[in-house]
Amino acid sequence: MKNLIINIKNLISEIDDITDLFYMQKNKLAFERFNVTLVNLSNIIDEIFRYCNNEINLEFNANNLFLSLTEGLQAMEIGDSILLADILKYEIKEQLIKFNNAVQ
């Protein structure tokens, strides 16, 4: 669990960097970084799902995190970098923080 929390904190930092790049209109670099980070994000979401399935009293809905990721990928598919940045920053990042707070 400790590794998961550390990995989430590192991912949150990476999300901040990526969203800053999108907001500065450095889309090529931002999409490159997002593509690399996407693998880590997917792995962390899988770990969160596994953890949530074993913890009955945890007040966190992992499905919301998955839905936000799906929305982010749809934004990426249509090339809407600002929408993707907003989803990363205001939905995915916030849900990762909420998960960390729920398990600590």
CATH code for position 38: 1.20.120
Per-residue pLDDT tens digits for 67-79: 999 999 999 999 9
What is the per-residue pLDDT for 99? 95
* Stretch among 56-60, 81-85, 95-99 having the lowest mean pLDDT: 56-60
Print the domain residue range for 65.
2-103
Q: Are 99 and 48 in contact (CB under 8 A)?
A: yes
CB 100 within 8 A of CB 47: no
Q: What mean pLDDT is predicted for residues 25-42?
A: 96
Instruction: Provide the 8-state DSSP code for 104.
Output: -
pLDDT at residue 1 in the model: 82
Neighbours of 61 (CB within 10 A): 13
* Count of domains for the chain: 1
Rounded to two decimals, the pTM is 0.93
Distances (CA, A) of 77 to 28, 73, 80: 14, 6, 8
